[in-house]
Structure 1
Amino acid sequence: MPVIWRGGDVIVVDKPSGMASEPGKGQRDNTMMNALFAEFGNLLQNMGEKRDFGLLHRLDRETSGLLIVALRARAYDALRRQFEERSVVKRYWAIVSGRPPKAQGVIRKPIAEVVDEKKQKKAVISGAGKPSATAYRVLSSRGGASLVECRIGSGRLHQIRVHMAAVGCPVLGDGFYAPPEIKRMAARLALHAHLLAFVEPESGERVVVGSPFPADLRPALVGRRMPVPGEGSGARGTAQGGGSGNQRAEPDVGWSEQNDDESGDPGAA
């Protein structure tokens, strides 16, 4: 399991697509947390179930990218407060069908969880759901698809996926919210959590950690002659701030928006 940054009692992990974040119904082994227990078992076990064994937030099985894990209770509690205060920055790249209605905007639609006929949890847009907001900006569009960058404060179940589908731009490779022809347009779900920014509890230093664009999603852009983030001029570094890991140029965190109706729920995107 690639730990790409460590500072004090905090690590940032780059989870691959196809791996569950933690054990759950139907899968007890071969999860990200299983892999981390092999290396940090004593520390994580001491955190206990009350603190989710250090896991601060989650990603869907098919979503790749960055996750924060605390190794001691004090660090976990401090980071949990940051999530609740919505001060943790989470950025995603998504390749979607078509082009969103605006070059930049915020999708504000309440999300509820339901169980479908196959007894799988699914997200739906519903007035009975929780307030949810996904900010996005279009980075490029070509060949019937767009690369968008999304930012969320909350993490409702499948939030980015259901919000982009709701505006007519489902994520390529999505077997839940996209029709079959769009599911087949990428090798897997074209969603990657590429940037995290937070304050490291021990040092008080702001940390920005970035993950490169996934190789298995690259053909979906190159085949449409769309630029791949981080390639060519302006390639971005992977981490900035105290701790171990590559210390290069800070990824761009200048883009900002207000998601005033969000909570700090740590669910999966």
Structure 2
Amino acid sequence: MRNQGYACTEIISSKHHGQTLLSYLAGHYPHSTAQVWQQNLDNREVTLDGVIATGRESLRSGQTLVWNRPPWVEPETPQHFEVLFEDAYLLAVNKPGGLPTLPGGGFMENTLIRLVQKQTPSANPVHRLGRATTGIVLFAKTPQAASQLSADWNTPKIQKIYRALAQGVAQQDTYEILTPIGLVPHPRIGSVWAASPDGKPSKSLAKVISRTADSTTFEVSLYSGRPHQIRIHLASIGHPLVGDPLYGFTGLPLENLPGLPGDGGYLLHAQFLNFHHPVTREPIHLEAALPPGFAVPQ
């Protein structure tokens, strides 16, 4: 699918005051080299406070930077989703693997939010799942529902339970994982969320569902909502997800990445979501059927 292009807008922060625009773009967005960014600038795609930029400008705190990215052909993604629940206030769907929840990383139209809003324009996701992650995504259809769910999302009022296939055979039946999560530097992708002693407090509870000779299937309950939390937490106790292209056995990113952070190859599924309806207060219990690849425990 070829989209209509996109205007990426940001405000320059004080820590980049005095830096040249070209060096900022190349350093802040390492997915493109300085040569590629200079070509974008020469193509008159970048403005600074509304003026076409050359790249030689010295940045000032508070300036508005806009990259008018031209239309591009997006990678193909699944174009379907299963409706699990819907009323006047909420919509819950089962997201397939390979479909991003929100625009980003080269995807804009081929995203779950665009597919859902074609049918239900008022629906907005309360949270997101990684592109390769499958399972329940909850949408709010009214501002009232969105406000209440956002307030409750990372509290015990909303129970989020995942299924994950991890490397290695777990020695314990249950793990309480409290590894802090924060941004750490990475030579290829700039920075990435990972295990970090300076990160934010995080909590997961992992229970063993089944074991094979070289893997463990966990049921993981989330008590915080950090990016890539389950992938990082299981890796931090020595059980990274089978096929995870990003995280190694310590919860830190692999130095020689076989792919990009959004790439798949692992099995992680948002299986259950339990909460009280934000308007009617009735209990809601949602379940998304396990995708192929997960062994059924004996």
Q: Give your verdict on TM over 0.5.
A: yes
The correspondence of residues 79-98 of structure 1 with structure 2, limited to 5 A, is: 79-98=149-168
Q: Determine if contact 1:101/1:167 at 8 Å carries over to the other structure.
A: no
Residue number among 117, 123, 127 corresponding to 2:197 in the alignment: 127
1:197-243 CA-to-partner distances (Å, cap 9, x unmatched) read 1111232101010011102x24xx3xxxxxx16xx9xxxxxxxxxxx
The correspondence of residues 172-187 of structure 1 with structure 2, limited to 5 A, is: 172-178=242-248
CA distance in 2: counterparts of 1:114 and 1:37, whole angstroms: 34
The letter for the 1-side match of 2:134 is: S
Aligned length: 206
Q: Determine if contact 2:182/2:196 at 8 Å carries over to the other structure.
A: yes
Shift of 1:14: 0.6
Distance 1:14-1:129 versus aligned 2 partners, 3 A rule? same
The correspondence of residues 58-97 of structure 1 with structure 2, limited to 5 A, is: 58-97=128-167
1:45-99 CA-to-partner distances (Å, cap 9, x unmatched) read xxxxxxxxx2111111111110110001011112112214331110000011112
Structure number with higher helix proportion: 1
Specify the alignment match of 2:215 in structure 1.
Answer: 145
Distance 1:120-1:14 versus aligned 2 partners, 3 A rule? farther
Q: Determine if contact 1:21/1:32 at 8 Å carries over to the other structure.
A: yes
Q: Which has the larger radius of gyration?
A: 2
CA distance in 2: counterparts of 1:169 and 1:90, whole angstroms: 20
Shift of 1:120: 6.0
Specify the alignment match of 2:95 in structure 1.
Answer: 15
**Unaligned segments of structure 2, at least 5 residues:** 1-80, 259-263
- SS where residue 165 of structure 2 aligns? strand
CA distance in 2: counterparts of 1:114 and 1:178, whole angstroms: 14
The letter for the 2-side match of 1:132 is: S
CA distance in 1: counterparts of 2:157 and 2:209, whole angstroms: 24
Shift of 1:178: 4.2
CA distance in 2: counterparts of 1:100 and 1:7, whole angstroms: 41
CA distance in 1: counterparts of 2:105 and 2:212, whole angstroms: 40
Aligned-pair identity in percent equals 29
The correspondence of residues 187-202 of structure 1 with structure 2, limited to 5 A, is: 188-202=265-279
Q: Determine if contact 1:63/1:191 at 8 Å carries over to the other structure.
A: yes
- SS where residue 172 of structure 1 aligns? coil
CA distance in 1: counterparts of 2:277 and 2:89, whole angstroms: 9
Do structure 1's residue 2 and structure 2's residue 82 form an aligned pair?
Answer: yes
The correspondence of residues 154-169 of structure 1 with structure 2, limited to 5 A, is: 154-169=224-239
Specify the alignment match of 2:282 in structure 1.
Answer: 205
CA distance in 1: counterparts of 2:204 and 2:233, whole angstroms: 7
CA distance in 1: counterparts of 2:190 and 2:133, whole angstroms: 17
Q: Determine if contact 1:110/1:129 at 8 Å carries over to the other structure.
A: yes
CA distance in 2: counterparts of 1:28 and 1:120, whole angstroms: 22
The letter for the 1-side match of 2:203 is: A
Give TM-score scaled by structure 1 length.
0.71
Specify the alignment match of 2:52 in structure 1.
Answer: none
CA distance in 1: counterparts of 2:132 and 2:279, whole angstroms: 32
CA distance in 1: counterparts of 2:214 and 2:243, whole angstroms: 14
Specify the alignment match of 1:242 in structure 2.
Answer: none
The correspondence of residues 253-264 of structure 1 with structure 2, limited to 5 A, is: none
Distance 1:117-1:26 versus aligned 2 partners, 3 A rule? farther
The letter for the 2-side match of 1:83 is: W
The letter for the 1-side match of 2:166 is: V
- SS where residue 285 of structure 2 aligns? strand
Of structures 1 and 2, the one with the larger relative CO (CA 8 A, separation 6+) is 1
In angstroms, what is the RMSD of aligned CA positions? Answer: 2.1
Q: Determine if contact 1:122/1:157 at 8 Å carries over to the other structure.
A: no
Specify the alignment match of 2:113 in structure 1.
Answer: 33
Distance 1:189-1:121 versus aligned 2 partners, 3 A rule? farther
